[in-house]
Every structure is written in structure tokens, then in C-alpha cells.
């Protein structure tokens, strides 16, 4: 596929399964919200902020990401953030989203859980009504904080339980293994919620094993370091456990030196259920379609492979089989 086929990639009905709402905060909106809330940002303007987006690793990024999230204060702020993301999705041919949010980043600043949920879910409802984009929301625990803090967060979210499809685990991976959160995810399981976790982004293959065996995840977020353990690769293929891979994120955070070195197409060809996602698009240079394009340009992608990646994204979602069916049929029409 060449440049001329970007329209084809846009037309594919795609789901986005690995997206942090706080990571969609564009510099323009960050300045707008700072002004609206009477806050001073430590950058002179949007260009100065954007030029700070040079990251040596995940932690470099997280430091800026948590600082940026500080402008989110009111229900309307959470609405505006979520709505701006959904408009980008509509432009990219995204038909279904399962976004993450990090409530502890906000409750730590005394922004109530209710403010966050109200703003986000109002925008997601509008996304369904006005843009035809379906959604399921995922709350993430911050793994650099304690398990006790995660328990408190889960408790605080219970009045909003019906708005959640799953709970995830994100933030700095190194030194914060999945096993640290085994008891709280046992509780998530008892509550009947789905489970996902970031693992094998910067952390070793063993963290992916822990996510599978101890947390009982249904999807692995990132997971690209699975290739360090052939038995793990075989299990992921045999059990079709989805990986939500984020190509532009991985190159910006130096998980891979260059897109040409990325292993996503290799994993796809081995039969793994890999999906393409944008992670934190305001920080990493592109939304979902840009990630498909970047992979195609660096690694090559046939139309059949693009359709398979889109099909994987629908299959790996938390939608019911009946809800998946029309998207899968539309993809079959393109095959
Ligand atoms: N939070 C936002 N983006 C993240 C990523 N790529 N890894 C871990 N935590 C995150
Ligand atoms: Zn992520």
C-alpha cells in the first residue's frame, strides 16, 4: 500500500483499545484550560510546550503528562478533552473506543471522582449520539502508587461502576510488577469487571506472565517485549490473547530505536492478535490513523494485513458478539 491508499486505511472500521484520555490533551487545549481555570503553565506558549516533547524513556514522558493533566479541573474540562478526542476518531474512521483514564492523578488534586465521570461519560454519550462512535470506559490504577491507594480508588469509583467495562494498570512499569496489585485485581474480578494491564512496554516478559497468571488480564497493553520469551509468544498465539500495540508511542519513548525496527508486523505474521493504537497521541505525534500510516510506511502493510489489524481491534474489544458483527461484516466487504 502507498500514500494514495491512506483513504483505504481511513475507511476501515477500526476500534481503539489503548488510549489515555489525559494523553489526548493537545497543547492548545492545555493553554485554553489553564486560562479558564486561572492557572500558570511553566511554558511561554504552545510552541515552547510542544518543543519540550522529547523523551528519553517512559518516565520522562510521564513527568510531563502528569503535569499537563493538572489543568483538568471541572466537569466541562473533562468533557472538552473527551469530545476533542472523539472528533479526531470520527475523522480517522474509528467506530469504537475503549479509553483509559487515570482518576488518581485527579483525586490527588482534590478533583472528585464524580466530576471526572460526569464530564467523560457525557462526552462519550454525545459521541454515540452525534458521531455514531460506541464506547466502553476503562479506569486505570497508577502502578507507582500503592495497592492500598488502588483499593481506595476502586471504592470511590463504585457509584459509577455501571459506566466501567474494565480496570487497567498503567504508569511507570519498571519496579512496579503486576504482582504488586494481585489482591486488588482479585476484587476487580469479583466485581465482574474486565481486566487489562500495561506489561512488557519497558518491563520484561516476566511482567506479561504475571499480568496473565496473577491479574488474569483479558488483553495485554503494549506487550511488545513478549518476543524475549518464545514460550510466552506461543501462549499468546495459541490463546489469541490480544496485544494493544502503540507504534508511535514505542518509537517516541525509545522502546524501539526506529519504526523500521518495530516488531508489530512480525507478531501479526506469526498469528498473534495484535492491534494498532495511539496511547497518548497529543504527545507522540499522531492519532490512530497516523499510527497505521507510520507502520505502513516503515514496515509495509498489504490491504489484507490492514484489514486483519482492524478485524483484530474489533475482535479484541469488550463489545458483545452481536455488537461486533456489523463491523466485522463491513470489513469482510472490503476484503
Ligand atoms: N500512562 C500514559 N501512557 C502510558 C504508557 N505508555 N505507559 C504507561 N503508563 C502510561
Ligand atoms: Zn498506555
Cα separation of 139 and 153, whole Å? 9
Return the C-alpha cell found at 99: 479509553
Report which secondary-structure segment, H or E, holds 121: helix 113-126
Domain CATH for 276: 3.20.20.140
Instruction: Let me know: does 280 contact 268? Beta carbons within 8 Å.
Output: no
Helix residue ranges per DSSP H, 177-320: 182-190, 205-210, 230-238, 247-252, 264-269, 281-284, 288-299, 303-315
- Residue 5's pLDDT is 82
The mean of the pLDDT values for the chain is 98
d(CA 249, CA 45): 24
Structure confidence at residue 156 (pLDDT):
98
CB contact burial 297-332 (16+ within 10 A = b; e otherwise): ebbebeeebbbbbbbbbbbbbbbeeeebeebeeebe
Q: How far apart are CA 274 and CA 278, in angstroms?
A: 13
The active-site residue, picked from 22, 26, 98, 201, is 201
Domain coverage including residue 237? 3-334
- Residue whose CA lies nearest to ligand 1 atom number 4: 171
Q: Alpha-carbon distance 78 to 264, whole Å?
A: 32
pLDDT per residue rounded down to tens, the chain (335 residues): 877 789 999 999 999 999 999 999 999 999 999 999 999 999 999 999 999 999 999 999 999 999 999 999 999 999 999 999 999 999 999 999 999 999 999 999 999 999 999 999 999 999 999 999 999 999 999 999 999 999 999 999 999 999 999 999 999 999 999 999 999 999 999 999 999 999 999 999 999 999 999 999 999 999 999 999 999 999 999 999 999 999 999 999 999 999 999 999 999 999 999 999 999 999 999 999 999 999 999 999 999 999 999 999 999 999 999 999 999 999 999 98
CA 68 to chain centre: 17
Say if residues 301 and 264 touch (Cβ distance below 8 Å): no
State residue 325's pLDDT score: 98
CA 171 to ligand 1: nearest atom = 9
Residue 310, all three cell numbers: 482492524
Helix axes 288-299, 75-92, angle to 10 degrees: 40
Which one of 59, 62, 100 would you pick to mutate in the ligand 1 pocket, going by the greatest count of ligand atoms within 8 A of its CB?
A: 62
CA of 280, closest atom in ligand 1? 3
- Closest alpha carbon to 292 in 56, 94, 148: 94
Does the annotation flag 198 for ligand binding?
Answer: yes
User: Does 126 carry a binding-site annotation?
Assistant: no
Domain count, the chain: 1
Q: How far apart are CA 92 and CA 11, in angstroms?
A: 8
Task: For 98-125, write each residue's pLDDT tens digit.
Answer: 999 999 999 999 999 999 999 999 999 9
Is the pTM higher than 0.95? Answer: yes
Quote the pLDDT of residue 3: 79
Amino acid at each position: 500500500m502507498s500514500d494514495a491508499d491512506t483513504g483505504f486505511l481511513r475507511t476501515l472500521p477500526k476500534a481503539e483499545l489503548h488510549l489515555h484520555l489525559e494523553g489526548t490533551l493537545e497543547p492548545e487545549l492545555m493553554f485554553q484550560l489553564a486560562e479558564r481555570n486561572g492557572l500558570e503553565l511553566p511554558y511561554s506558549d504552545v510552541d515552547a510546550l510542544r518543543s519540550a516533547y522529547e523523551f528519553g524513556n517512559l518516565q520522562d514522558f510521564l513527568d510531563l503528562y502528569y503535569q499537563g493533566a493538572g489543568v483538568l479541573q471541572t466537569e466541562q474540562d473533562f468533557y472538552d478533552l473527551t469530545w476533542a478526542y472523539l472528533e479526531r476518531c470520527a475523522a480517522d474512521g474509528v467506530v469504537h473506543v475503549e479509553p483509559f483514564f487515570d482518576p488518581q492523578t485527579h483525586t490527588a488534586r482534590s478533583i472528585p471522582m464524580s466530576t471526572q465521570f460526569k464530564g467523560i461519560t457525557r462526552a462519550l454519550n454525545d459521541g454515540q449520539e452525534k458521531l455514531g462512535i460506541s464506547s466502553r470506559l476503562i479506569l486505570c490504577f497508577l502502578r507507582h502508587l500503592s495497592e492500598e491507594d488502588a483499593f481506595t480508588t476502586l471504592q470511590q469509583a463504585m457509584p459509577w461502576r455501571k459506566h466501567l467495562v474494565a480496570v487497567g494498570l498503567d504508569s511507570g512499569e519498571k519496579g512496579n510488577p503486576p504482582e504488586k496489585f494481585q489482591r486488588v485485581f482479585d476484587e476487580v474480578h469479583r466485581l465482574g469487571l474486565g481486566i487489562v494491564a500495561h506489561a512488557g512496554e519497558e518491563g520484561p516478559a516476566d511482567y506479561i506472565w504475571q499480568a496473565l497468571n496473577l491479574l488474569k488480564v483479558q488483553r495485554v497493553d503494549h506487550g511488545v517485549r513478549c518476543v524475549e520469551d518464545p514460550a510466552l509468544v506461543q501462549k499468546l498465539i495459541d490463546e489469541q490473547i490480544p496485544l494493544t500495540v502503540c507504534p508511535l508511542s514505542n518509537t517516541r519513548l525509545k522502546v524501539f530505536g526506529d519504526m523500521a525496527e518495530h516488531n508489530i508486523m512480525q507478531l501479526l505474521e506469526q498469528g498473534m492478535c495484535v492491534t494498532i493504537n495511539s496511547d497518548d497521541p497529543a504527545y507522540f505525534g499522531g492519532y490512530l490513523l497516523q499510527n497505521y500510516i507510520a507502520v505502513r510506511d516503515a514496515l509495509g502493510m498489504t490491504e489484507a494485513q490492514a484489514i486483519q489489524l482492524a478485524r483484530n481491534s474489533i475482535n479484541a474489544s469488550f463489545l458483545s458478539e452481536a455488537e461486533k458483527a456489523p463491523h466485522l461484516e463491513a470489513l469482510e466487504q472490503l476484503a
